[in-house]
């Protein structure tokens, strides 16, 4: 039988964290009607403004289009463009009826130059048509936990039934950036295809240090939208602005603010020193656990991560040092960011200790501290 144990990491843990480079101290004054900034790994929110209001998203829609395509198609798929898929209004990569193109080039055309014809062609190839593809997009949004998002098309042209919130869009971008192919494509500055050289519309790739991807959006009805991702010192941060006429400047200000609010902390075996497993019929009553690596996590300044430990209720001697004991899950803001194996810290031979499970129960009753959680000792 296994149980989950939760213990707060000691305050000394935070002393090991190296504070990231700090910039502006106060929250930025931005033009966006809705905005949010999150740490990509945990989703920790560093800044938000009207982040749950439903708004049009323009071509930032194509983040989800690409994510769904990558989950349902292969990069080397050869796609034949049907007449109905060419000539879509708005931004275009100028697909021609009956031409062939790879799915990979379609994704570059989608994310770098925001081709609406690329979006419709992807939808047709993957699902047979736009309505069917939108069903996949909306299913993915629900899977990710988005509650203020609905997709009516794969490109972002204005539709009253097509909307998102800044918070939901950050959630979608977090998922997309975990896909290595998406991250590679969205971070590419130039790509040659169809006899053309496509330049990424995301100006922050050139203008802001550490920018590794993003997507622009604009319609006359919904204004400018922008989703970007910046990585610095191993930390990825995502910024979303909706209906923002000064988005490039605002994103830079948001990143300057956000990176001053994080710190990196190290989680080591020392943080598990209070964790002891009762040993039945051993020369000692308990055995400790260790990790074989140091884990770096990102937290907001002054925040304490938590460790959730999955271990047996007790073990029988002989216990061998270095043998697998269980797992530790490290969480930030309630979101698991690392899961690492745990090992027995020492060898425990057979001895004169009591041989029944009551010994284990007696130890637990006398030593509740090692299963101390946010709300006190856990019940079994």
Q: Which of 34, 42, 91, 114 is catalytic?
A: 114
My answer on whether omega of the bond before 18 falls inside 30° of 0, hence cis, is: no
Q: Which two tokens stand for residue 258?
A: 């956000």
**3-class DSSP state of 137:** helix
Residues 240 and 311: their CA atoms lie apart, in Å, by 40
Q: Which two tokens stand for residue 224?
A: 């400018």
Tell which residue, 101, 103, 99, has the closest CA to residue 73: 103
Whether the Cβ atoms of residue 57 and residue 242 lie closer than 8 Å to each other: yes
Beta-carbon count within 10 A of 339 CB: 13
Residues 41 and 88: their CA atoms lie apart, in Å, by 36
Q: Which two tokens stand for residue 109?
A: 């055309």
295-300/100-102 β-pairing: unpaired
Helices (H), ranges, 1-115: 12-15, 62-72, 103-112
Residue 225 designated active-site: no
Q: Which two tokens stand for residue 275?
A: 């964790």
Residue 62 designated active-site: yes
Residues 95 and 79: their CA atoms lie apart, in Å, by 11
Cα distances from 281 to residues 322, 342, 345, in angstroms, run 19, 22, 18
Q: Alpha carbon 130 to chain centroid distance?
A: 27
Q: Which of 34, 59, 91, 269 is catalytic?
A: 59
Residue 304 designated active-site: no
DSSP assigned state of 303? -
Q: Any idea which residues carry the catalytic annotation?
A: 59, 62, 114
């Amino acid at each position: 039988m296994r149980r989950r144990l939760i213990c707060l990491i000691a305050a000394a843990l935070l002393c090991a964290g190296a504070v990231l480079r700090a910039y502006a101290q106060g929250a930025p004054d931005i033009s966006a009607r809705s905005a949010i900034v999150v740490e990509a790994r945990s989703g920790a929110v560093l800044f938000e403004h009207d982040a749950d209001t439903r708004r049009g998203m323009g071509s930032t829609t194509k983040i989800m289009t690409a994510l769904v395509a990558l989950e349902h198609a292969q990069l080397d798929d050869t796609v034949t463009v049907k007449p109905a898929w060419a000539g879509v209004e708005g931004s275009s990569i100028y697909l021609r009826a009956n031409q062939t193109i790879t799915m990979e080039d379609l994704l570059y055309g989608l994310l770098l130059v925001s081709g609406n014809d690329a979006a419709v062609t992807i939808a047709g190839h993957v699902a047979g048509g736009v309505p069917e593809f939108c069903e996949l997009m909306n299913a993915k949004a629900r899977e990710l936990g988005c509650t203020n998002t609905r997709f009516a098309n794969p490109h972002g042209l204005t539709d009253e039934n097509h909307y998102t919130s800044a918070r939901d869009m950050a959630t979608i971008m977090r998922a997309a950036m975990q896909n290595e192919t998406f991250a590679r494509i969205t971070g590419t500055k130039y790509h040659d295809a169809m006899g053309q050289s496509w330049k990424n519309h995301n100006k922050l790739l050139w203008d802001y240090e550490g920018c590794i991807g993003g997507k622009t959006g604009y319609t006359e009805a919904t204004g400018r939208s922008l989703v970007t991702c910046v990585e610095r010192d191993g930390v990825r941060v995502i910024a979303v602005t909706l209906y923002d006429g000064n988005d490039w400047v605002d994103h830079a200000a948001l990143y300057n603010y956000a990176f001053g609010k994080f710190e990196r902390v190290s989680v080591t075996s020392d943080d598990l020193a209070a964790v002891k497993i009762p040993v039945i019929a051993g020369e000692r009553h308990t055995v400790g656990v260790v990790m074989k690596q140091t884990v770096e996590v990102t937290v907001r300044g002054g925040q304490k991560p938590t460790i959730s430990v999955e271990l047996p209720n007790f073990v029988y001697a002989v216990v061998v040092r270095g043998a697998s004991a269980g797992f530790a899950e490290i969480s930030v803001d309630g979101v698991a960011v690392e899961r690492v194996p745990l090992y027995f810290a020492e060898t425990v031979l057979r001895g004169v200790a009591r041989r029944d499970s009551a010994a284990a129960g007696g130890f637990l009753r006398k030593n509740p501290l090692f299963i101390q959680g946010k709300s006190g000792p856990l019940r079994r």
